[in-house]
Chain A
Amino acid sequence: MARPRVAAATQTDRIWKVVLPYLYVLPAAAFVAAFLLYPMVVTVGQAFTHWDGITEPVFVGLQNFSDLFSDAHFIVSLKNTLIWTVAAVILPVSLGLFLALALNAVRWSSFFKSIIYLPATISAAAVGILFTFVFAYDNGALNAIVNAVGIHSQRWLFDAPINTFSMIAAYTWQSTGLNLMLFLVGLQGLPTEPIEAAKLDGCTGFRLVWRIIVPMMMPFVVIATLLAVINGFKVFDLIWVMTQGGPGRSSETLAVTMYREGFILFNQGYSAAIAVIIALAALLFSYFYLRSVLDQEKQI
């Protein structure tokens, strides 16, 4: 249906030309505005109210935020979130970097790569259920192993703080693969000249990796670290499936506390305030993350 190209565009043609791009952009923009942006704005407003979700919300200013810091549950939750963030950075990122460096010089590397990445393809909920069985008290695999070497059974998921570390182990199992892939991509893009030059100077093996390759990988380490902070901060599914933040709210993180306050205890204003705190922290790290990704892209 080719339109004839007339010398003078008619009035309707001109209007059409102005309207046209909006027909392409608006449907997607409308979905995002209605389902994501509008709720987000409402959450910010709610954070300044007391609301049980049924009666009229009452404006209380900053009271939710000041209440948070005298709430023992919130303090525990904040502490757990810090543990999660630090551990979720250190373990998967360093294991991923080590594996990426090792796999570059080892037989069957693509086979190993697939094995380590495999858990990243299944859901956090499935990982949570699998590890609930691994950590089970009565006939769980871990207690069976521990018993075999003469230690008696541990309550891996029922005592704080050990349950947080058990869950972090499951999280590490799932998220190391993503970091491994990131670092492999990074390794492929390294310039070869400095490496060749170092080799000519007699720098090989472990020394080459530690002195030349690892420093060159630093931008990728920064990116992976920031990404791990952002993700570690938001973990919900795994904790919800494995302990529901229990026993007695002892293993909650901010994401779980927010869910419990909002959807189980119906303190919606209070819950919104926690959401705002999570968002502020995530935004801060996202800013640094985007900046280092953009710097990296500029160099390539």
Chain B
Amino acid sequence: MTVATSSWEKRGPVRRNAGFTAVLILAIFWLAPIAILAMNAFKTPNEFLMTSSLVPPTGIGPLFANLQHAWMKGLSGGFLNSITYGVAGSVLAVGLSSLAAYGIVRLKIPGGLFWFLLIYSGTIFPFQMYLIPLFNAYLSTGLYDTKLGMIAFYIAICIPFCTFVMRGFFLTVPWQIQEAALVDGANSWEIFWRIMFPMARAPIILLVLIQFTWIWNDLLFGLVLSKSEDVRPVMVALVGMQGVYGAQDGPSVIAATLICSAPTLILFLALQRYFVRGLTLGVGAK
């Protein structure tokens, strides 16, 4: 870390060890729930019912049966649906937001601040404010319980934050680049697609990641806007499994939870550095 670091690490070994011990204890607290539950994913349903969660499993064989159970008994559909929603929703939202931010900042649409606030206002209010009318409108337009309806909503909910970030990015691009391209005879679309878009690669990748993760983790809108197994997203499928199998087949539900958490966990571990930078981008996201 930076210079500030060196400033208070010069202290006695006793104090430093006290700090280390405190952090270590907290880290154990943080890992324990995951470790204990991962261990229980190795048990057969019967073994799970008969023994305490702290007793280690007798073998590793049941894990594969549990994973297979979790996948076959309801998770597979939701998993694939959510990959579609996550990819389509995040990519389209970031694309539309980039266009909007470009129109507001670089093409100087009249009343730019109004248009920005109009789009950004979508993220200021809590979700409870749109649930009921959205549900009613989806019922009456036939969007309810359709994949199209889910994707359309996820695009909409991701746009405000993406526009916020992309607007911030386009504000930093020097105007000379745009003027030089204009002199060379490029039109606005060419400037956007050939010059601005490639320049914005870093924030765009970051936004796609953040929004994919958000869509993947969503439960509330999946509950409200879908019901069938063909349409519901992965978290709704997971919670449904807990309701049905939670009591007699705990290990499969735990295995299902691990499967559902794997994609975002892997994304985070692979791209940690970008996620941390993302926090400095727009402190807080949604």
Residues of A whose CB lies within 8 Å of any CB of B are: 1-5, 20-25, 27-29, 31-40, 42-43, 46, 53, 95, 98-99, 102-107, 109, 112, 114-119, 121-126, 129-134, 136, 138-141, 144-145, 148, 173, 178, 181-182, 184-185, 187-188, 190, 192, 195-196, 199, 204-206, 208-209, 213, 223, 227, 233-234, 236-237, 240-241, 254-255, 258-259, 262-263, 268, 271-272, 274-276, 278-279, 282-283, 286, 289, 293
Contacts and interface: CB of A to CB of B under 8 A. Distances in A.
Given A28-B163, A254-B128, 11 more contacts: A35-B134, A36-B157, A103-B23, A105-B11, A121-B261, A125-B238, A134-B36, A213-B8, A237-B220, A275-B132, A276-B129
A32 B107 CA distance: 21
Interface stretch (B56-64, B95-103, B171-179, B200-208): B95-103
Contacts of B137: 38-39
20 contacts: A24-B103, A25-B99, A32-B121, A32-B122, A36-B156, A40-B129, A43-B130, A115-B31, A118-B268, A126-B260, A130-B33, A133-B40, A139-B52, A173-B30, A178-B279, A181-B276, A204-B11, A274-B128, A282-B125, A286-B124
Contacts of B188: 20, 24
Interface centre among B152, B187, B239 (most CB of A within 10 A): B239
Interface string B259-286: 0110011011100100010011001100
Contacts of B97: 28
A27 B100 contact: yes
Given A145-B54, A227-B284, A21 B276 contact: no
Contacts of A117: 268
Contacts of B108: 21
A36 B103 CA distance: 21
A131 B129 CA distance: 29
A44 to B, nearest CB: 8
If over half of A's interface residues share one DSSP class (helix, strand or loop), that class is named, otherwise mixed; here it is helix
Contacts of B102: 24
Contacts of A1: 187, 190
Contacts of B157: 35-36
A243 to B, nearest CB: 12
B115 A104 contact: no
B248 interface: no
Contacts of B20: 106-107
Given A29-B115, A173-B33, A105 B16 contact: yes
Given A43-B130, A125-B217, A204-B11, A118 B187 contact: no
A4 B40 CA distance: 70
Nearest to A241: B239
B261 A42 contact: no
Nearest to A4: B185
B142 interface: no
A130 B11 contact: no
Contact of A129 (B159, B238, B279): B238
B118 interface: yes
B100 A28 contact: yes
A140 B99 CA distance: 51
B36 A141 contact: yes
A27 B133 CA distance: 21
A139 B41 CA distance: 14
B224 interface: yes
B133 to A, nearest CB: 4
A279 B128 CA distance: 8
A39 B129 CA distance: 7
10 tightest Cβ-Cβ pairs between the two chains A and B: A24-B103, A123-B217, A35-B156, A2-B185, A39-B130, A28-B100, A21-B109, A42-B133, A39-B133, A205-B11
A129 B242 contact: yes
Contact of A188 (B1, B10, B132, B264): B1
A37 B36 contact: no
B253 interface: yes
Given A144-B52, A190-B4, A282 B126 contact: yes
Contacts of B53: 133-134, 136, 139-141, 144
A29 B152 CA distance: 13
Given A115-B30, A121-B267, A262 B152 contact: no
Contact of A133 (B16, B185, B254, B283): B254
A182 B279 contact: yes
B257 A129 contact: yes
A123 B216 CA distance: 8
B8 A208 contact: yes
Contacts of B134: 35, 39
Given A28-B163, A29-B100, A105-B8, A125 B235 contact: yes
A139 B5 contact: no
B2 interface: yes
A36 B130 contact: yes
B203 to A, nearest CB: 16
Given A126-B257, A132-B246, A35 B185 contact: no
A195 to B, nearest CB: 4
B13 to A, nearest CB: 12
